[in-house]
Amino acid sequence: MKDKDNETESNHDYLWDGRGEPDEIIASLERRLAPLRYRSRRSVLRGIFGVRAAAVAAAAILMMIPFFLFNTPDAPATAYEVTLLAGIGRVQPPGGREPVLLTPENIYQFPVGAKLACDAGARARVRMIRSNSNMELGEASLDGPCDVDLVQSSPTLEKLYLHRGSLSARVSANAKPRLFQVGTPSGTAVDLGCIYTVRVRDDGAAELHVSIGRVAFEIHKNNLVIWSGASCVADTAGNITTPVDDDAPAGFREALARHDARKDGNALEDLLNTATVRQSASLWHLLQSAGDAERGSIYDKLAALAPPPAGVTRERALALDRDALEAWRLDIMHW
Amino acid sequence: MQLPAPLQPQIDAAADGGIPAVDDAERRAIERARAGDRRAFGELHSRYVRMVHAIVMAHASPGDADDLTQEVFTRALVNIQNLQRADSAGPWFAGIARNVATDSVRRRKPSVELTDIAAARPARGRVDDARDVLESIQTIPVTYRETLMMRLVEGMTGPEIALRTGMTPGSVRVHLHRGMKQLTEILARRGLLQ
């Protein structure tokens, strides 16, 4: 390599391992490309690399697209744009005005207080864009039949309320954790940086499935953290199933379902017998929802599968010490 | 660049021209991850995330790179049983990264106008410049492009690239050198050489 293509020794060293005298061009490129470097998900500004040509085209398209503007007293912090992808959908503007029937070729603004309804078979997309910076916060895909309201839009909280139907959210790294939330009759899904789906059944029960990242599911005083590849169900009475991996062994899932239903005294023993290290996160949640008499055996199993970090003692865990449990959770689900 | 201590001996070996080997800690992490240990998977994430990010960005839109990187690791987690050999972890993660990035590019095409409407942003000098350079990198052959992304964007050294990708140090050297030569010529033609 050293003699190839007439490169100098210092160039080789610097390109190879950063040693030696910095090559001017390479060092310059490193500086110029630094904004693209991987950082932890939340520190990255993304969505700012629209192709220049696309920006021009987008501007032209925007001029051509008729915007149906609903007058609102204050401009929202975030612009919500609705696009109908298939089927029949309508937006009910705030203030009791006539609903607007959506047509696929248009983009509609969706202000706070408005309601979006999609009929069976319809699909719509709601995009969230920060007004003052044009920064994308994410998007929600809706599958009808569904009814969703925009209940709040502020710099600290963006909240949709899903009455029924299915909503899949993709929240951008631009959005701070907890900024984007989806209320349901059974609880609130709070984004912690992820892609997830909430489906509200006709009886109001909400199913939450996380595809990537993590979501907090807040139900009354409970706050569950659901992780990639896991799901749980909450009903309107405040009952919630223990979050579990979609690919958990059938025996474990079945025993967990029996345990959650509180209909089988042997369920706990069965699920502990079938749990592997992969079910540690489920056991972590179970530790908190279990009764005093059950907690010891859950702790022992969890500690055997995923030993607690320093400082998290059996006593603290059984006393449901908040700091201790959080430290253990981060150890189990840290990535 | 500061590297984790356990990496250094292997990297020195790679710098000497030998084939870089997966260390015992990584071997153990892979075994534990295959058994379903999420913390062990987290260790693999830490080791491979920059390589994955570079590969994703070599193929797909940089605006999607974060989400795609996370998707790579989600797919890897689901399919961790397919990782049979510890010394093939790098190529295995790289393969998933290429598939995810390619799928993303394919999916993105039909809705390009709509997605780019929201992606269109006011000009930002530093970011625009990075984008211009990235666009130039994306025009060079993929063989060199990924290696160059790891070196110039992620700050990985040649030995580290060899260790992570499973390529021989000699191949990495050639890719870096030829890729850099092509990139310099493209930047010069485009008037982007500073």
Q: Please compute the mean of the pLDDT values over residues A60-83 and round it to a whole number.
A: 51
Q: Please compute the mean of the pLDDT values over residues A155-159 and round it to a whole number.
A: 90
Q: How far apart are CA A261 and CA A238, in angstroms?
A: 13
pLDDT for residue B185: 93
pLDDT in tens, B129-152: 888 899 999 999 988 999 999 999
Q: Which of A26, A32, A48 comes nearest B121 by C-beta? A: A48
pLDDT for residue A7: 45
Q: Percentage of chain B with pLDDT > 90?
A: 36
The model's confidence at residue A5, banded by pLDDT at 50, 70 and 90, is very low
Q: List CB contacts (< 8 A) between A228 and chain B.
A: 74, 77
pLDDT at residue A189 greater than cutoff 80: yes
Give the number of other CB atoms < 10 A from CB of residue A33. 23
Residue B75 covered by a domain:
yes
Cβ of B177 and A4 within 8 Å? yes
pLDDT in tens, A30-41: 988 988 888 644
Collapsing DSSP to helix, strand or coil, A247 comes out as coil
Q: Is A76 on the interface with B (CB under 8 A)?
A: no
- Cα dihedral value B37, B40, B42, B43, nearest 10: 180
Q: Please compute the mean of the pLDDT values over residues A274-303 and round it to a whole number.
A: 92
Q: List CB contacts (< 8 A) between A26 and chain B.
A: 152, 180
The model's confidence at residue B175, banded by pLDDT at 50, 70 and 90, is very high
pLDDT at residue A311 greater than cutoff 50: yes
DSSP for residue A248: S
pLDDT for residue A272: 96
Task: Evaluate whether ipTM surpasses 0.90.
Answer: no
Q: Is A13 on the interface with B (CB under 8 A)?
A: no
Q: Which of A127, A211, A279 comes nearest B118 by C-beta? A: A127
Q: How far apart are CA B63 and CA A255, in angstroms?
A: 43
CA dihedral (B180, B182, B184, B187) positive or negative: negative
The string of DSSP letters for A157-225 reads -EEEEEEEEEEEEEE-TTSPTTSEEEEETTEEEEEEEEEEEEEE-TTS-EEEEEEEEEEEEEETTEEEE
Residue B194 covered by a domain:
no
Residue with the bigger pLDDT between B73 and A185: it is: A185
CA dihedral (B68, B145, B99, B27) positive or negative: negative
- The mean pLDDT value of chain A amounts to 81
* Closest residue in B to A43 (Cα–Cα): B66
Q: Ranked by mean pLDDT, which of A213-217, A245-249, A305-309 comes out on top?
A: A305-309
Residue B93 covered by a domain:
yes
Residue with the bigger pLDDT between A216 and B106: it is: A216
Residue B99 covered by a domain:
yes
Q: Please compute the mean of the pLDDT values over residues A98-123 and round it to a whole number.
A: 91
**Chain A residues 267-326 within an 8 A CB cutoff of chain B:** 276-281, 306
- Indicate which CATH number applies to the domain containing B70: 1.10.1740.10
Number of domains present in the structure of chain B: 1
Residue B2 covered by a domain:
no
Q: Percentage of chain A with pLDDT > 90?
A: 44
Q: How far apart are CA B167 and CA B87, in angstroms?
A: 11
Q: Please compute the mean of the pLDDT values over residues A81-90 and round it to a whole number.
A: 93
pLDDT for residue B38: 66
Q: Please compute the mean of the pLDDT values over residues A196-212 and round it to a whole number.
A: 90
Residue B22 covered by a domain:
yes
Q: Please compute the mean of the pLDDT values over residues B155-166 and round it to a whole number.
A: 91
Nearest-5° Cα angle at A282, A276 to A284: 100
Supply the range of the domain harboring residue B122.
7-189
pLDDT for residue A181: 93
Cβ of B35 and A278 within 8 Å? yes
Please answer whether residues A278 and A248 qualify as being in contact, where contact means their C-beta atoms are separated by less than 8 angstroms: yes
Distance from CA of B120 to the nearest CA of A (A): 5
Burial A177-211 (b: 16+ CB within 10 A, else e): bebbbbbbbbbbbbbbbbbbbbbbbeeebbbbbbb
Q: How far apart are CA A199 and CA A192, in angstroms?
A: 18
Residue with the bigger pLDDT between A269 and B39: it is: A269
pLDDT for residue B39: 67
pLDDT at residue B111 greater than cutoff 50: no
pLDDT for residue A52: 32
Q: List CB contacts (< 8 A) between B133 and chain A.
A: 29, 32-33
Cβ of A55 and B121 within 8 Å? yes
Q: How far apart are CA B52 and CA B70, in angstroms?
A: 9
Q: Which of A15, A83, A135 comes nearest B176 by C-beta? A: A15
Q: Percentage of chain B with pLDDT > 70?
A: 76
pLDDT for residue B41: 81
Q: Is A259 left (phi over 0), alpha (psi -120 to 50) or beta?
A: alpha
Residue with the bigger pLDDT between A107 and B7: it is: A107
Q: List CB contacts (< 8 A) between A330 and chain B.
A: none
Best residue in A9, A19, A49 for a mutation probing chain B (most B CBs within 10 Å): A49
Cβ of A16 and B158 within 8 Å? yes
Collapsing DSSP to helix, strand or coil, A259 comes out as helix
Please answer whether residues A167 and A197 qualify as being in contact, where contact means their C-beta atoms are separated by less than 8 angstroms: yes
pLDDT for residue B22: 67
Cβ of B193 and A280 within 8 Å? no
DSSP for residue A156: S
- Residue B113, burial from CB neighbour count under 10 angstroms (0-12, 13-18, 19+): middle
Range with lowest mean pLDDT among A246-260, A274-288, B112-126: B112-126
**Chain A residues 109-168 within an 8 A CB cutoff of chain B:** 127, 129, 133-136
Please answer whether residues A243 and A224 qualify as being in contact, where contact means their C-beta atoms are separated by less than 8 angstroms: yes
Cβ of B130 and A35 within 8 Å? yes
Q: How far apart are CA A139 and CA A81, in angstroms?
A: 9
Residue B1 covered by a domain:
no
Q: Is A86 on the interface with B (CB under 8 A)?
A: no
DSSP for residue A106: -
Cβ of B63 and A54 within 8 Å? no
The model's confidence at residue B11, banded by pLDDT at 50, 70 and 90, is very low
In the chain, the amino acid numbered A326 is: E
Q: Which of B71, B122, B155 comes nearest A37 by C-beta? A: B155
Longest C-alpha distance within chain A, in Å?
78
How many Cα atoms within 13 Å fall on the side-chain side of residue A186? 23
pLDDT for residue B78: 77
DSSP for residue A87: S
pLDDT in tens, B84-101: 887 789 999 999 999 999
pLDDT for residue A39: 65
DSSP for residue B153: I
Q: List CB contacts (< 8 A) between A212 and chain B.
A: 67, 70-71, 74
pLDDT for residue A274: 94
Collapsing DSSP to helix, strand or coil, A151 comes out as strand
Please answer whether residues A118 and A144 qualify as being in contact, where contact means their C-beta atoms are separated by less than 8 angstroms: yes
Cβ of B45 and A335 within 8 Å? yes
